[in-house]
Amino acid sequence: MPAPSATPPIQAAAGHAVIVTENLRHSYGEGELRSQILHGLNFEVKAGEVTLLVGPSGSGKSTLLTLIGALRSVEEGSLQVLGRELHGASERDRVAIRRRIGFIFQSHNLVSSLTVLQNVQLLLQLNEPNPRKRTERACALLDAVGLSHRLHHYPDELSGGQRQRVAIARALAPEPELVLADEPTASLDSQSGQDVVELLGDLCRRRSSAVLLVTHDLRLLKDADRIWRIEDGRVKAWQPDATELAGAH
């Protein structure tokens, strides 16, 4: 019988929960310096939906994304991601989960010695053996984020917003089941920010993938299927009121 992490991923059906937390807690520091950041979170993220996570600076949004992305160990409570419990998961299982997730984090982590096109093709090598198809797919995504005129440029030759768009194309290239994005529109102008969220929404509806997006950008509220707000270490379903939505236009 194959090891659990060798089981092929099952494409999630829309509406199926891809993230489920139960009483998830997290603290930083030891002894007197110990400070609890997440005080028992209970929430879900579903396939086929764009879910926003909002909340004040320092409320633990990035901490939560790194826990969900299996980049940090779960210490207390339960966190299931793509059907796997991460509390107590082995490093091997965590690596297997990470491969199924597209990350769009603020530090773009592009490879500076590779061109824009090569950066986007990089992760495709794992799941698309045909080099011509890899190039076609990378070009189509770079076109979708408005960068078809920058294919052969290097990251250093791009603006911050353009680098962010390369990072988005790269994260979407392997068609991940879950996309985790930390402030992906922070360095984009209003129109590009909306385009990016549309692109993410398109991916999740077409493939029944899930997108969890941390943002301060009120303009994105209206494009979300579901909004969670984190404050004082707890998370609540959030329905923006008319004034907040007015800021979204």
The Cα 244–Cα 218 span in angstroms is 7
Q: Least distance to Mg ion from the beta carbon of 61, Å?
A: 5
Q: How distant is the alpha carbon of residue 62 from its chain centre?
A: 11
Which residues form the interface with ligand ADP (CB under 6 A)? 28, 37, 55, 57-63
58 binds, among ligand ADP, Mg ion, none (CB under 5 to 8 A by kind): ligand ADP
Q: Does residue 42 interact with Mg ion by CB under 5 A?
A: no
| Inter-CA distances, 26 with 60, 163, 176, 191, 238, Å | 9, 31, 26, 36, 22
Nearest CB to ligand ADP, comparing residues 143 and 231? 231
Q: Least distance to Mg ion from the beta carbon of 156, Å?
A: 25
14 binds, among Mg ion, ligand ADP, none (CB under 5 to 8 A by kind): none
Nearest CB to ligand ADP, comparing residues 44 and 183? 183
191 binds, among ligand ADP, Mg ion, none (CB under 5 to 8 A by kind): none
Nearest CB to Mg ion, comparing residues 8 and 58? 58
Nearest CB to ligand ADP, comparing residues 72 and 205? 72
Residues whose CB falls within 8 Å of the CB of residue 199, separated by 6 or more in sequence, listed in order: 144, 145, 168, 172
Q: Does residue 78 interact with Mg ion by CB under 5 A?
A: no
DSSP 8-state secondary structure symbol assigned to residue 4: G
Nearest CB to Mg ion, comparing residues 62 and 78? 62
E strands within the chain? 17-28, 35-41, 44-46, 50-54, 76-81, 84-85, 101-104, 178-182, 210-214, 226-231, 234-237
Nearest CB to ligand ADP, comparing residues 36 and 135? 36
Instruction: Determine phi and psi for 227, rounding to 5 degrees.
Output: -130, 130
Q: Least distance to ligand ADP from the beta carbon of 218, Å?
A: 16
CB–CB of 223/198 below 8 Å?
yes
Other C-beta atoms closer than 10 Å to the C-beta of 166 total 24
CB–CB of 116/152 below 8 Å?
yes
* Residues 43-62, interacting with Mg ion (CB under 5 A): 62
63 binds, among Mg ion, ligand ADP, none (CB under 5 to 8 A by kind): ligand ADP
Residues that bind Mg ion (CB under 5 A): 62
